[in-house]
Every structure is written in C-alpha cells, then in structure tokens.
C-alpha cells in the first residue's frame, strides 16, 4: 500500500536548502530513489520539509535505514535523520492518479 512521508528538518533554512540541492542532485545522478513515486521539497518557518509518496512503507524504511543513504545525506550537510521529525501516513487518494 502506498504511503506518504513528511520529514521535517529544523534549522537554518538557507543551509538546509543548500544541503537539499546537493543531496537531491546526487540522488538523481544515481537514478533517483527506488520506490519513491512522487517527491516535493518545501520550506517553512525555520524548517525544510521533504514530502514523498512511496510504493510501500517497507521500501521507504529500507531506504531510510540504508547506511549509504544516511552517509550521503550527512555529507551533503543534512542533520542526522535521527533529529528529523518523520510522519508516515497511508495514502488514501491522490489527484491526478499515480501512473
């Protein structure tokens, strides 16, 4: 069942945006995130949000648990995933529908 993940990183938004741009470029150069169907990045008051739709919670958790993924994020300048606020929700509906 597809899930939505909302990950909130708190801190200096300019630094977080730079870290995101570096990490996102690396992820895309490696072919994207396996299992992620849709991806958004948004900023708010002292926070950067990553919102994704994933094929399943298992695929999402496997990605987040990957040491290679964690190392790539921290080398790009992200704070540790352990410091992020992560919410995982079951997807009920999306428009337009996923292909």
CATH number for the domain harbouring residue 53: 3.30.70.100
Check residue 65 and report its DSSP letter.
H
**Per-residue model confidence (pLDDT) at position 98:** 75
Residue 31, in any domain of the structure: yes
Taking 90 as the threshold, does the pLDDT of residue 90 lie above it?
A: yes
**Per-residue model confidence (pLDDT) at position 97:** 81
pLDDT averaged over every residue in the chain: 94
Taking 80 as the threshold, does the pLDDT of residue 99 lie above it?
A: no
Number of domain units in the chain: 1
Q: What is the DSSP string of 69-95?
A: HHHHHHHHTPPPGGGSEEEEEE----S
pTM: 0.91
Q: Per-residue confidence at 81, pLDDT binned at 50, 70, 90?
A: confident
Check residue 68 and report its DSSP letter.
H
- At residue 99, the 3 state secondary structure works out as coil
CA 11 and chain centroid, separation = 16
- Tens digits of residue pLDDT in 15-56: 999 999 999 999 999 999 999 999 999 999 899 999 999 999
Residue 96, in any domain of the structure: no
**Enclosing domain of residue 56:** 3-90
Mean pLDDT of 6-22: 96
Residue 53, in any domain of the structure: yes
């Amino acid at each position: 069942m597809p899930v939505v993940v909302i990950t909130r990183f708190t801190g200096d938004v300019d630094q977080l945006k730079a870290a995101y741009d570096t990490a996102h470029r690396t992820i895309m150069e490696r072919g994207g995130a396996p299992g992620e169907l849709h991806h958004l990045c948004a900023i708010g008051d002292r926070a950067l949000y990553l919102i994704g739709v994933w094929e399943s919670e298992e695929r999402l958790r496997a990605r987040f648990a990957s040491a290679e993924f964690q190392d790539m994020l921290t080398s790009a300048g992200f704070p540790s995933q352990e410091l992020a606020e992560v919410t995982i929700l079951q997807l009920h509906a999306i428009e337009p529908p996923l292909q």
